[in-house]
Amino acid sequence: MRTSRLFRTAAAGTLLAVLAGCGSSGAHTAGGPETPPPPGTAPASDPSAAASAPGASGVPGFGIAGTGTPESVTAALAALPENLRKRVPQFPPAPLPVKVTLPPATDGKAAFFSRIPTTEKIAFITIDDGWEKNPLALQLFQAANVPQSLFLEVNAIKDNPGFFLPLQTAGATIENHTITHATMTRLSLEGQKREICGGADKLAAYYGTRPTLFRPPGGSWNNNTLRAAHACGMKAVFTWTQTTDHGKLFYQNEEKVIYPGDIILMHFRPRFVDDYLAVLKAIHKNGLTPARLEDYIP
């Protein structure tokens, strides 16, 4: 008898949770059945909500994929080892972003997304933790010429926070992933605030800008997570739709497709180079362009 679709979906969710780097228990865990976002997270229908020009993120030359100068991209590619140079696809510019609608501030909760609701041919690269500081990361970011969001854990980066500074000039935005990688659903509301607020404050001290987006470790979250995130100044809480490890992409759908708006999770791990190139290849194969997650959040 064929295995049921429900069983296959659950099994895939378990694998994704393991690959995410930690098991978790609680109300919501990324990789399992998707939890609907709160009301009001549909794309804005008013075209005026779109950013008016590339570079809205504040990173010169890297506001939207493909805006790095041809000279800088060529130089970064040339600096890579030849065996890696051939594995870096090039992407067309991403379309101007149409921002989502967030819940009203009076709701007292940050928004939740496992993907960005859009039909544009874009996907989002997100990289967690920060334990492995690969010396090729900067050259890869410059050669790919695409944005990525780094959800950094304070304990993982405190030995060398300066490693991530040049990554910001190469299209990376630094966001919040707690101080200690604690499982949110095992903490009280105040405990979650300490992890989220403390992580944001420390990252602001390191990098000059306070994060406004949060990823719960292991994708485990509950209503208190959304309340704590909001209280700490986070606009939205994110999980993911696909993940990668050891140079292989793991899909959350049976079609093994990256859909428009999907959020791809990877980590700063020993196989960082292979993981990053696998993500680029998969996005390119699916006819999408990496876009900046922050540009879609008001």
Task: Tell me, yes or no, whether 67 lies in a domain.
Answer: no
Cα 232 to Cα 103, 209, 271: the distances in Å are: 16, 14, 33
Residue among 244, 276, 286, 245 nearest 170 (CA): 276
Look up the domain containing 212 and give its range.
109-295
CATH number of domain containing 175: 3.20.20.370
Residue among 250, 277, 215 nearest 85 (CA): 277
What's the number of CA atoms in the CB half-sphere (13 Å) around residue 240? 29
pLDDT interval class at 48 (50, 70, 90): very low
Cα 259 to Cα 150, 196, 221, 265: the distances in Å are: 21, 30, 24, 14
Please tell me the least confidently modeled range out of 52-61, 101-110, 216-225, 286-295: 52-61
Domain count, the chain: 1
pLDDT single digits (tens) 114-167:
999 999 999 999 999 999 999 999 999 999 999 999 999 999 999 999 999 999
CB contact at 8 A, 130 and 269:
no
Task: Tell me, yes or no, whether 158 lies in a domain.
Answer: yes
Q: Is the pTM of this model over 0.85?
A: no
Please tell me the least confidently modeled range out of 56-65, 129-138, 252-261, 280-289: 56-65
Instruction: Map residue 195 onto helix, strand or coil.
Output: helix
Tell me, what's the pLDDT at 68? 65
End-to-end CA distance of the chain: 49
Task: Tell me, yes or no, whether 91 lies in a domain.
Answer: no
**How is residue 62 written in tokens?**
């890297």
Task: Tell me, yes or no, whether 69 lies in a domain.
Answer: no
Task: Tell me, yes or no, whether 28 lies in a domain.
Answer: no
Task: Tell me, yes or no, whether 43 lies in a domain.
Answer: no
Mean predicted confidence (pLDDT) in 211-233? 98
